[in-house]
Amino acid sequence: MRRALPTLLPWTLVLAGSTALFLMLQWPEGLGSGLMWKQPAGHFWVVSVASITCLGIALVATVAAIRTANARVVLLALSFLSMAGVFSVHGLTTPGFFLDAASSPAAVAPPVALVSTDSDYGGSSPGPNPEQVTPAPSGPPRYLMVTGFSGRLALALAALFLAASAIPWPGRVERALVRWRRGVLGGAVGLLALYAWLALTQPQLVPAWLVQREAFAWGTLALVTVCGLGAAVRFIIGYRRSGLTMYAAVSLGALMLVQAAFSVHFGSTWSGTFWLYHLQLLVGFTAVLWGVLVAYSEGRAVQSFEALTVTDVLQQLRSGYTESIVTLSAALEARDGYTLGHGERVAALAVLIGQEMRLPDHRLRALTAGALLHDVGKIGVPDAVLHKPSSLDADEYDVIKEHPARGAEMLRGAFGQRIEAQVIRHHHERWDGTGYPDGLAGEAIPLEARIAAVADVYDALRTDRAYRPAWGRDDARKALFAGRDSHFDPRCVDAFAQVVDQWEGRHGGSDAYAARRIYAA
């Protein structure tokens, strides 16, 4: 039922292995000191596979951007489109392959002879080795500068747009991107096609003085590092809150992008680090593509890209709801729908209180799901009791009091004894031990259940019910404060006091509390 966080071991092993291999290759007199493999065909094919993989992601992201009308999905699509387009030029202009092979006899010269202080055809390596520098017989291949420039430009554009997609923008900027999204995406494709045409027909337009300057190399490295790490942190936070595989996949892709930038910066052409850089990108793209395929198998490929752009905590937590949770929530409202959205509002207030109390993300996730389904046991309560328009008698109240234990039992197979089940079972326990179903008191009541109790009572008071109209916000707050130390955990009430205005701003008002009266026949 709860979307479990996929194991972190594979992701950790990939990142750790990539880092370890980079350090081994760069270590003085280490593995990479004499490892050189000049294979233009191999370079062309590994770049082609990486570009095609990225293009597949870009196509899905572009469809998502058009369908969802989400500005930051447009930026996400631009990240993958720019990477696929520019990186493909990097592969097509491989020195010594079919373009250069037909135009420059220098393509057969030793790779280190072409540029003595470069890093992947343009950049800054730790310094030239005098023993490796030999004069090229007739100058460098004509596409050499294009190759280096395209490799770094692809990394920079991908990281820049990826970071831009992970942060909120002013409303007018997002509205403009949404309104003109087809033009923006179409224009980007046109510019990429123009760049490819110029790169392949007029390679001399790329100035060697720019590509070979250390400022260019260090500048692109800094840009990719800052933007890539910033995006990765955003997506990792979203992953911890939602549990969505797509968040984890794009996080890994962003981190591999940063690692690739270091490999290309500190490596030299045809060295072991040079090949590692391409493999790092291929692994990163493959991880993201895997996330897309997982989302597709769940019927939410387009929605997964939109979820990546969410920065609001509650929305990120909601994006992690499984289909079973959503279905149960809808069934509960259909069964006990007197007040529309009670579970959602209780979950929203519980999350705010949990944040104020500094609950970690994984506990917020569980609290949200448990608060959403806290009344699921009412599905088994007879209509005559559930929708009675007057006060319940003792026997009817005993029936109502069965719903926490019934709900926990209903979801025992899904939640077991986890936090979600504890919220469902214990949200009617009281701080002084007079609650139900187990009569727990004080710290014996799970913290998340104590938080849900405050949120549940406050929303219930602020909502029209069959037996009374909604209370005003001042009276409802007084009731919560009056229950401090008896009904409620004092710390939870104090946290509630800090966030209730924020919650009222989103959920308060007559429209939000419009009743949906359903009476038993």
Same domain flag for 485 and 427: yes
- Average pLDDT in the 232-257 region? 85
The dihedrals phi and psi of 97, each to the nearest 5 degrees, come to -95, -155
Could you give the angle at which helices 71-92 and 171-179 cross, rounded to 10 degrees? Answer: 60
More confident residue, 171 or 379: 171
CB-based contact 385:392 (threshold 8 Å): yes
Q: For residue 270, what pLDDT is reported?
A: 82
Q: How many domains does the chain have?
A: 2
Same domain flag for 218 and 253: yes
514 in a domain, yes or no? no
Same domain flag for 302 and 384: no
Q: Binning pLDDT at 50, 70 and 90, where does residue 6 land? A: low
Q: Is the pLDDT of residue 11 over 60?
A: yes
- Average pLDDT in the 76-88 region? 95
Q: For residue 466, what pLDDT is reported?
A: 66
The residue type of 43 is H
The dihedrals phi and psi of 468, each to the nearest 5 degrees, come to -165, 155
Q: For residue 311, what pLDDT is reported?
A: 59
Q: For residue 122, what pLDDT is reported?
A: 45
314 in a domain, yes or no? no
Same domain flag for 222 and 200: yes
**Would you give the distance in Å from CA 495 to the centre of its chain?**
28
Same domain flag for 162 and 277: yes
Q: How far is CA 97 from CA 52, 91, 197, 211, 274, in A?
A: 19, 9, 18, 21, 17
Tell me the DSSP string of 174-224: HHHHHHTHHHHHHHHHHHHHHHHHHHHH-GGGS-HHHHT-HHHHHHHHHHH
Domain with residue 491: its CATH number is 1.10.3210.10
140 in a domain, yes or no? yes
For the segment 15-25, what is each residue's pLDDT rounded down to a tens digit?
Answer: 899 999 888 88
More confident residue, 99 or 124: 99
Give the percent of the chain with pLDDT over 90.
Answer: 36
Q: Would you give the DSSP letter of residue 7?
A: P
Same domain flag for 271 and 331: no
281, 308, 335: which is the final residue of a domain?
308
CB-based contacts of 424, cutoff 8 Å, min separation 6? 370, 373, 374, 376, 377, 404, 407, 408, 411, 415
Mean pLDDT (the chain) is 80
Beta bridge partners of 271: 36
Same domain flag for 171 and 218: yes
- Residue range of the domain that includes 69: 38-308
19 in a domain, yes or no? no
11 in a domain, yes or no? no
Q: Binning pLDDT at 50, 70 and 90, where does residue 363 land? A: confident
pTM, to two decimals: 0.70
Same domain flag for 268 and 375: no
For the segment 182-241, what is each residue's pLDDT rounded down to a tens digit?
Answer: 999 999 999 999 999 999 999 888 888 888 889 999 999 999 999 999 999 988 888 877
Q: Is the pLDDT of residue 349 over 60?
A: yes
Same domain flag for 461 and 397: yes
Same domain flag for 219 and 160: yes
For residues 114 and 121, give the distance between their C-alpha atoms in angstroms, rounded to a whole number: 9
Give the percent of the chain with pLDDT over 70.
Answer: 76
For the segment 108-151, what is each residue's pLDDT rounded down to a tens digit?
Answer: 333 332 333 344 444 444 443 333 334 444 445 677 789 989 99
308, 336, 366: which is the final residue of a domain?
308
CB count within 10 Å of CB 182 equals: 12
Range with lowest mean pLDDT among 198-202, 291-295, 350-354, 436-440: 291-295
CB-based contact 60:48 (threshold 8 Å): no
CB-based contact 127:187 (threshold 8 Å): no
Q: Which residue has the tokens 């319940």?
A: 392
Q: Is the pLDDT of residue 281 over 60?
A: yes
CB-based contact 203:93 (threshold 8 Å): yes
286, 308, 330: which is the final residue of a domain?
308
15 in a domain, yes or no? no
330 in a domain, yes or no? yes
- Average pLDDT in the 294-312 region? 70
Q: Binning pLDDT at 50, 70 and 90, where does residue 332 land? A: low
For the segment 461-475, what is each residue's pLDDT rounded down to a tens digit?
Answer: 888 776 678 888 899
For the segment 406-443, what is each residue's pLDDT rounded down to a tens digit?
Answer: 888 887 766 656 888 899 999 999 999 999 999 999 99
Q: For residue 33, what pLDDT is reported?
A: 54
Q: Is the pLDDT of residue 368 over 60?
A: yes
For the segment 478-515, what is each residue's pLDDT rounded down to a tens digit?
Answer: 999 999 999 999 999 999 999 999 888 887 654 444 44
218 in a domain, yes or no? yes
CB-based contact 258:225 (threshold 8 Å): yes
Q: What burial class does residue 275 get, using C-beta atoms within 10 Å of its C-beta: 0-12 exposed, 13-18 middle, 19+ buried?
A: buried
Same domain flag for 403 and 446: yes
Beta bridge partners of 515: 339
Same domain flag for 289 and 369: no
The residue type of 247 is Y
CB-based contact 420:2 (threshold 8 Å): yes
